[in-house]
Structure 1
């Protein structure tokens, strides 16, 4: 049953995973699933080595000089909360966009309600792009941070992070990038792009398991830890250690998941993000061309020929997106995501608050025949609701 499913929910979690990911997780469980950094015996040492090996590969992928500037998290949401709550102080001003995920909006709104933090939301056009001139005009004397997603999880729009980073650097303001939809899919170099903090998931484009992710923190940036507790280092101290990454990694790490993530990152490095993006972009164009040929179908975000990630969100006439997704699942064995995708401000601008949107998302292992199957299914559903 499960093997028959055509999976177009890659933006939520990539599937399937490279076999090496599962093999590494099983090997860890069978051979060295001890606490990393908590002991000197050979199993604990091996666990620590795998964690550091994963940091090294992530550092290579993102152009990070010191692997210890990467702290492992449970997911991008965890990483964003660590960055935002650890950096923003009462009275600070933060700039972000209307296409940010709730993982950005909700922590900021919490700080607005509890710590007198000011927020400016930058508007975007129908394709999801912001005006850099509006960003320039939004800076204030107390602006502390700019937060932007590298690619919209609704529209697939790719933000000009490098240009934004240059603007922030010129103003002396830190830049936090949400790479939930771009890590492993788009080239990212934190130095070249002037990124001060990079939040990334392990379970999407990096092809690792759920429950993994990370936050890169520039060496000049100090965060208040989100969690306090045991780290295996400086145990005699009353306060949280200052050494990285221990300062931000209280408690036992997900060694099994990180072992799998290591193999996912190694797969991406071997294939290269350029090859991965080119393949996904080709199929994205193929899907968009097919859907736009169907009467009653509208697509959100950048149009055909424009650069974007493998996210294609669409609607059929005024049919509720949940109904379309249900039919795709039950009648065609096609898995998509429906609703608001945790980004209501983007739907408000797109005019889709009444219906939500059907989000199909392509991954590296998506086949051309699966793209055609989705197009044919949408055509049949559209005919039913004509």
Structure 2
């Protein structure tokens, strides 16, 4: 199979990730729930993963790296933990439902008011509208690092500058970019960074988390056992336990730790350059196919390795099915949990087919996808 659905999850991972998970399944105990050798093995891998994650994102406080089961839980933890009645929030049309739905729920409950930095028909955010959206009650600006539909990268420095200039916090959803693009949390002034482990980080599913600056307190979303201060009836105030109720996914986090070690040695810059070259090769290859439309700006250096397209004469789901069944190429069709971006691009009814590349994607994979699209286009043309 040619796997071009890395924006959903990576299935091709460094061998060390699989080895670490298998070793943990065979011998890791429960983190912070005992003093046996197996428990210490679990605790050590979780602690190492915190340190490596903090290093990867340029964050000086590894104890403020909190692990969850995915980015959705991390975003819910951040948003429900920091927002209060009367707060105003600014977000963007780029967002995934893991940002939109928590914010919509807070809005429906009458807790927050919500505004959007809109995207234009070419898939660019209208950043000139940002300043006019702020109010005295603006508590947070929440934005993805890159669109999961077009791969367009947001102007994080400008969003942070504007948020802090108005006394608001900045929350970054780095689900699409962590491991694929460099990010400096301390350097940029990001207040909360949420991530998942199973996409560009190339770790296991069921891993994710958030990094929270020391001067921001979050109310816990989940309450329960932490393995420390068990006589206290409330969640311990210390981090990371304050936001980590329940048994940790030590097996998954062992794999994430191995993935982080691999990426730190490899260098995220190499991944970014690799993805950019593949994106350029793909776009150049499909640009001459009759009836094919690529959505969004084509400036490769401002994008992750993601391309969304449609082909005249076939709906997106049928195109993805043909790619899978006839050419053994995995993509993703539909709305990609990004309804506002599809609305901006005019594809809300039709959807699109997304191709997303990763570290293990090759030029041969790209060429095979180009051939398949050209072949299908010719077939559709002959059928007219």
TM-score using structure 2 length: 0.97
- Report the Cα offset of residue 306 of structure 1: 4.6
Query: SS where residue 107 of structure 2 aligns?
Result: helix
Residue of structure 1 in register with 2:7 after alignment? 11
1:62 corresponds to 2:57: yes
Query: SS where residue 111 of structure 1 aligns?
Result: helix
Residue of structure 1 in register with 2:309 after alignment? 314
Residue of structure 1 in register with 2:74 after alignment? 79
Q: 2:92 aligns with which of 83, 94, 97?
A: 97
1:207 corresponds to 2:202: yes
Residue of structure 2 in register with 1:123 after alignment? 118
- Report the Cα offset of residue 151 of structure 1: 0.5
Residue of structure 2 in register with 1:147 after alignment? 142
Contact in 2 for aligned 1:332/1:377 (Cα 8 Å): yes
The alignment's C-alpha RMSD in Å is 1.1
Q: Which moved more, 1:228-237 or 1:118-127?
A: 118-127
* Cα distance in 1 between the residues matched to 2:111 and 2:184: 33
Residue of structure 2 in register with 1:376 after alignment? 371
* Cα distance in 2 between the residues matched to 1:344 and 1:62: 29
Query: SS where residue 338 of structure 1 aligns?
Result: strand
Q: Which moved more, 1:296-305 or 1:178-187?
A: 296-305
**Runs (4+) of structure 1 moved beyond 3 Å?**
none
TM-score using structure 1 length: 0.97
- Report the Cα offset of residue 318 of structure 1: 4.8
Contact in 1 for aligned 2:69/2:209 (Cα 8 Å): yes
* Cα distance in 2 between the residues matched to 1:384 and 1:277: 35
Contact in 1 for aligned 2:123/2:344 (Cα 8 Å): no
Residue of structure 2 in register with 1:251 after alignment? 246
* Cα distance in 2 between the residues matched to 1:214 and 1:365: 24
- Report the Cα offset of residue 26 of structure 1: 0.9
Structure 2 regions of 5+ residues with no counterpart?
A: none
Query: SS where residue 308 of structure 2 aligns?
Result: strand
Q: 1:167 aligns with which of 162, 168, 175?
A: 162
Residue of structure 2 in register with 1:275 after alignment? 270
Query: SS where residue 8 of structure 2 aligns?
Result: coil
- Report the Cα offset of residue 382 of structure 1: 1.2
- Report the Cα offset of residue 383 of structure 1: 1.6
Once the two structures are superposed, what CA deviation does each residue of 1:292-322 show, in whole Å capped at 9, x if it has no partner? 1101000012215452100011000152100
Contact in 2 for aligned 1:288/1:304 (Cα 8 Å): no
Residue of structure 2 in register with 1:26 after alignment? 22
Q: 1:265 aligns with which of 260, 276, 282?
A: 260
Task: Call closer, same or farther: CA 1:93–1:318 in 2, change over 3 Å.
Answer: farther
- Report the Cα offset of residue 125 of structure 1: 2.2
Residue of structure 1 in register with 2:326 after alignment? 331
* Cα distance in 1 between the residues matched to 2:184 and 2:341: 27
Once the two structures are superposed, what CA deviation does each residue of 1:140-165 show, in whole Å capped at 9, x if it has no partner? 01100100100100010001112211
Once the two structures are superposed, what CA deviation does each residue of 1:233-253 show, in whole Å capped at 9, x if it has no partner? 111011111010001110001
- Report the Cα offset of residue 64 of structure 1: 0.8
* Cα distance in 1 between the residues matched to 2:66 and 2:300: 37
1:208-227 map, 5 Å: 208-227=203-222
Contact in 1 for aligned 2:117/2:127 (Cα 8 Å): no
1:241 corresponds to 2:215: no
Contact in 2 for aligned 1:89/1:117 (Cα 8 Å): yes
- Report the Cα offset of residue 42 of structure 1: 2.0
Once the two structures are superposed, what CA deviation does each residue of 1:263-291 show, in whole Å capped at 9, x if it has no partner? 11111111111111001100100001111
Q: 2:175 aligns with which of 175, 180, 193?
A: 180
Contact in 2 for aligned 1:163/1:193 (Cα 8 Å): no
Residue of structure 2 in register with 1:113 after alignment? 108
Structure 1 regions of 5+ residues with no counterpart?
A: none
Contact in 2 for aligned 1:127/1:157 (Cα 8 Å): no
* Cα distance in 2 between the residues matched to 1:28 and 1:88: 37
